[in-house]
Amino acid sequence: MIPSPAATAHRRRNPLTGRWVLVSPQRTQRPWLGQVDEASVAPRVSHDPGCHLCPGAARAGGAVNPDYRGPFVFANDFPALQEALPSDEPGARHGQDPLFAAQAVRGECRVICWSQDHSATLAELAPAEVRAVVDCWADQSAELGARYAWVQVFENKGAMMGCSNPHPHGQIWASGHLPEEADLEDRHQREYFARHGRSLLLELAGREAGGPREVLSSEGWLVVVPWWATWPFETLLLPRRTAHRFEDMDEAMRDDLARMLGRLTRTYDALFRCSFPYSMGWHGAPYGAYGGEAAHAAAAADDSAHWQLHAHFYPPLLRSATVRKFMVGYEMLAEPQRDLTPEDAAARLRAVAAA
């Protein structure tokens, strides 16, 4: 343990992935810290007839959206994964050449609009509306998990994060293989459980509760800026009791999660008085439908005791609504680096925390 991590350069390890981050708090004493600007605010409308995601609108692929209310899910018109493997095509599987290895992949990509309201982010939805989104995540995960090894629920919020449509929405990608990040988390949680007989993230939640990195808490959920945070105001959303996947949550836990998501996203918005951009994603236990493509193909469908459902929030903003953190130079060529300590970031978030 670092006795006083607030003043000197040091490295911190991410136990979920085994990666390290360089923390350089002394750099916050630099004389120029950047100008603090307000973000420009776009006009708010509840329905935009030119938006491909609004009810009744034609999407880019030609399909017309129904007059939906609440969460609306549809197959991505331009998916990154395809359901059918091109196994009959020459060169579909390229083998394991050490220099040119390749692997055929299959999967599905879906889009989920939070609601019919063109302007309503998760921070602006009522708890019942967020709860409907949570239920949708659970239903989609269970359905896709019956056919695929991995179901990735995520949201890219804001143009700064590459979001191509302003209508608040997320995505769900399911794949027959474990993506690299999921594979790393699976391995490290499995190793920790085998060594200690306890869930890594359940133990982490217990040790972080009430500590300097806690941002928000409730009976069932905890938000912390993790010890190993890479992005300035990165947070980790954890259940305080066992839940391997979305489907494991009971009614009370889902209600509590809906309230916590609203509190967290409103806290982000309050920090720099803007609609805070981020990439957010959920990691739950892999499913049994490995189909021979995953690194742990022999794992049983119920082999999830080591896993704990959790969400990562990766916001890019650094000092204001317009000053962002870039992962360049040393970060790209060596390892991630941050100036603001996770403890300081948590304190700033707590100071504006939403009720």
Active site residues: 169
Cβ atoms of residues 353 and 263 within 8 Å: yes
User: How many Cβ atoms from other residues are within 10 Å of residue 9's Cβ?
Assistant: 13
Give percent helix, percent strand, percent coil of the chain, each to the nearest 5. Answer: 25, 20, 55
Give CA–CA dist 154/131, Å, rounded. Answer: 16
Q: Using the structure block, give the residue that is written with the tokens 């009791």.
A: 241
How far, CA to CA in Å, does 335 sit from each of 11, 18, 234, 329?
A: 10, 12, 17, 9
User: How many Cβ atoms from other residues are within 10 Å of residue 157's Cβ?
Assistant: 24
Give CA–CA dist 311/296, Å, rounded. Answer: 22
Cβ atoms of residues 299 and 286 within 8 Å: yes
Q: Using the structure block, give the residue that is written with the tokens 């409308």.
A: 45
Cβ atoms of residues 272 and 317 within 8 Å: yes
**Sheet (strand 20-23) strand order:** 10-13, 20-23, 337-338
Give CA–CA dist 261/267, Å, rounded. Answer: 10
Backbone angles phi, psi at 185, to 5 degrees: -65, -35
Give CA–CA dist 133/169, Å, rounded. Answer: 10
No. of H helices and E strands in the chain?
Answer: 6, 12
Give CA–CA dist 166/329, Å, rounded. Answer: 31
Give CA–CA dist 289/300, Å, rounded. Answer: 9
Give CA–CA dist 349/215, Å, rounded. Answer: 6
